[in-house]
A and B are shown apart, each in its own frame.
Chain A
Amino acid sequence: MLSVAVPQESRPVETDSGSDLVEAARQGDRRAFGRLFEQYAAMVHGILLARVPARDADDLVQDVFLAAMQKLHTLREAAAFGGWLAMIARNRVVDFHRTRRKTTELPDDLAHTDPEQSEAERVLAVIQTLPEAYRETLVLRLVEGMSGPEIAARVGLTPESVRVNLHRGMKQLREKLGLETQ
């Protein structure tokens, strides 16, 4: 006779410090990994959204974190988690484009397309034509709502690089969208 057996609860997370969470997650603590997900999901989503259609980004976020969970033992420096995770996300995009079908599937809700959503996707499509470094930081800033310092801390770049990328990217985006405020 077969019945339910609930697995043992994992060790509780005692701190939200990034490195501690990574260490705890490395020891198999699912809750710690859950916290990392909460902290980094937007970053991963932004990195993906800079390169893939919006409708695919959510699913890929899950893929990226699953891959990260499986490879976590290979991460040497807990403090480098953000940059390491960002790299997994970028690699996942490469796989996505390599394996995706050549045909484009029509969205399920084609008849009820939200005009605001369409406008957002139009702007996103323009951002996706920018150089890679610019589009990633712009999406993290404009879509995910992260500040420059936050982007730098999460992605593992220097604040100077992020700042340059933001301003140069914004300049190009203004030109492409025909914005003339500045």
Chain B
Amino acid sequence: MSGDYLWDKSGPPDPDVEKLEEQLGSLRYRPRPRPEVAPAQTEAAKAPAERPARVTFLRPRVVALACGLAAAAALAIVVTRRVLEPPGAAALAQRLGSVPTAPWDRIDARLRPGEWLETNSWEAQVAIADIGHVQVAPRTRIRDATTLGGTQHRLELAHGKIHAKVTAPPKVFVVGTPAAEAVDLGCEYTLEVDDAGDGYLAVSLGWVELEASAKRSLVPAGARCRIQHGFGPGTPYFKDASEALRGALDRFDFHADKGAVRTVLAEARRRDALSLWHLLPRVDEATRREVYVALKALVPPPVGCTLPDVIRLDEIKLDQWKDELAVTW
């Protein structure tokens, strides 16, 4: 001890320092009190009339069996950080009884059908039955869009970013965005949408199908696909594709630059057959011939898949070719 009260609180107290300590003590950091959080189940039990169609918690096998059955009820949210901001936040926070006060805090709750979850500077985790979960990034707005009697688990992503890990039969989990629907085919992926409804999908495992009206993009692991409000999904490409190819796809998909296809064909590696195959139904007949030739040079079509089949966009034949191509992805 040095006898220096200001330095290490040793020795006789300095009256000024003591007085200031006393005055300023009221500003000292205090962990926020945490009101009791009513567990979702308890709350639901208290108000059965308001309870969303009750999902009795399904075991994995039951989930698999139930995939074709009613996809009623609530997404479970495990909020790992402070959840919500008004106005949507207020209602949920009030219903839950509290919001977490620290980054690692967690409350288990259930998102009711139709209910919005909007993260501010915090993240949340949404569990999807026993088939997976979705990490919800800060500043993201999602809604449980599952409908009673529906056959799918559905989320609506208004804006922000989610990372989904799903182990379910194909087409059981769907995320809607303003630009396109992401249909899970058993995979892990990141989906981001900005305030204008534009964004991208990046798949890290398995496959995801993007759909918007008549447009469809199949995105395998390692590939990305841009989505744009009003245009739907663009042409998927592998992340390691050349910058020129990616830029050309962007111009073709979202800026009506038909000539950009030539750049795509010139830049395409064997692996980029993914992009070329997707271009077939998106180009006019003359260009389709060029794409066919380029694609055939990269990965020959299966026996029986001919130029006329491709020109008339024979779905079965195109799917067969895609299966051949997929080996290279």
Would you call B45 an interface residue if the criterion is a C-beta within 8 Å of the partner chain's C-beta atoms?
Answer: no
Known A5-B129, A5-B133, A181-B15: A41·B29 in contact at CB below 8 Å = yes
Of B6, B21, B58, B78, the contact of A1 (CB 8 Å cutoff)? B58
Kindly report which residue of chain A lies nearest to residue B62, judged by CB atoms: A1
Could you tell me how many residues of chain B have their Cβ less than 8 Å away from some Cβ of chain A? 56
| Shortest distance from the beta carbon of A55 to any chain B beta carbon, whole Å | 10
Contact between chains at B57 and A120 (CB < 8 Å): no
Across chains A and B, which 10 residue pairs bring their CB atoms closest together, nearest first? A5-B127, A45-B29, A4-B76, A30-B104, A148-B7, A3-B55, A3-B57, A143-B24, A1-B55, A181-B16
Would you call B83 an interface residue if the criterion is a C-beta within 8 Å of the partner chain's C-beta atoms?
Answer: no
Would you call B278 an interface residue if the criterion is a C-beta within 8 Å of the partner chain's C-beta atoms?
Answer: no
Could you tell me how many residues of chain A have their Cβ less than 8 Å away from some Cβ of chain B? 53
> Which residues from chain B contact A116 at a C-beta distance below 8 Å?
23, 26
> Which residues from chain B contact A4 at a C-beta distance below 8 Å?
40, 57, 76, 78, 108, 110, 127
Contact between chains at B24 and A120 (CB < 8 Å): yes
A to B CB contacts below 8 Å, 24 in the list: A1-B70, A1-B72, A1-B129, A2-B55, A2-B71, A2-B128, A3-B57, A3-B130, A4-B40, A4-B57, A7-B125, A54-B27, A58-B29, A58-B32, A62-B102, A62-B103, A66-B138, A116-B23, A116-B26, A120-B25, A148-B8, A167-B7, A170-B6, A170-B17
Contact between chains at A66 and B81 (CB < 8 Å): yes
> Which residues from chain B contact A173 at a C-beta distance below 8 Å?
20
Contact between chains at B28 and A2 (CB < 8 Å): no
CA distance A141 to B73 in the complex (A): 53
Write out, one digit per residue, whether chain A residues 129-149 have a CB within 8 A of any chain B CB (1) or not (0).
000000000010111110111
Would you call A56 an interface residue if the criterion is a C-beta within 8 Å of the partner chain's C-beta atoms?
Answer: no
Kindly report which residue of chain B lies nearest to residue A42, judged by CB atoms: B29
> Which residues from chain A contact B101 at a C-beta distance below 8 Å?
62
CA distance A62 to B101 in the complex (A): 8
Would you call B121 an interface residue if the criterion is a C-beta within 8 Å of the partner chain's C-beta atoms?
Answer: yes
> A residues touching B (Cβ–Cβ < 8 Å)?
1-7, 30-31, 33-34, 37-38, 41-42, 45-46, 49, 54, 57-58, 61-63, 65-66, 69, 114, 116-117, 119-121, 123-124, 139, 141-145, 147-149, 163, 166-167, 170, 173-174, 179, 181-182
> Knowing that A7-B78, A147-B8 are A-B contacts, what are 9 other residue pairs whose CB atoms are under 8 Å apart, sorted by A's residue number?
A5-B78, A6-B108, A6-B127, A57-B29, A116-B23, A120-B26, A148-B7, A173-B20, A179-B16
Contact between chains at A142 and B129 (CB < 8 Å): no
> Which residues from chain B contact A2 at a C-beta distance below 8 Å?
55, 71, 73-76, 127-129, 144, 146, 153
> Which residues from chain A contact B130 at a C-beta distance below 8 Å?
3, 5
Kindly report which residue of chain A lies nearest to residue B26, judged by CB atoms: A120
> Which residues from chain A contact B28 at a C-beta distance below 8 Å?
42, 45, 143-145
CA distance A57 to B317 in the complex (A): 64
| Shortest distance from the beta carbon of A181 to any chain B beta carbon, whole Å | 5
| Shortest distance from the beta carbon of A44 to any chain B beta carbon, whole Å | 8
> B residues touching A (Cβ–Cβ < 8 Å)?
6-9, 14-17, 20-21, 23-29, 31-32, 40, 55-58, 63, 66, 69-76, 78, 80-82, 101-104, 108, 110, 121-122, 125, 127-130, 133, 138, 144, 146, 153
Contact between chains at B27 and A5 (CB < 8 Å): no
Kindly report which residue of chain B lies nearest to residue A54, judged by CB atoms: B27
Kindly report which residue of chain B lies nearest to residue A63, judged by CB atoms: B121
CA distance A86 to B197 in the complex (A): 37
CA distance A121 to B8 in the complex (A): 24
| Shortest distance from the beta carbon of B245 to any chain A beta carbon, whole Å | 31
CA distance A69 to B294 in the complex (A): 48
Contact between chains at A166 and B78 (CB < 8 Å): no
CA distance A80 to B31 in the complex (A): 24
Most buried by B among A31, A54, A120, A144: A120
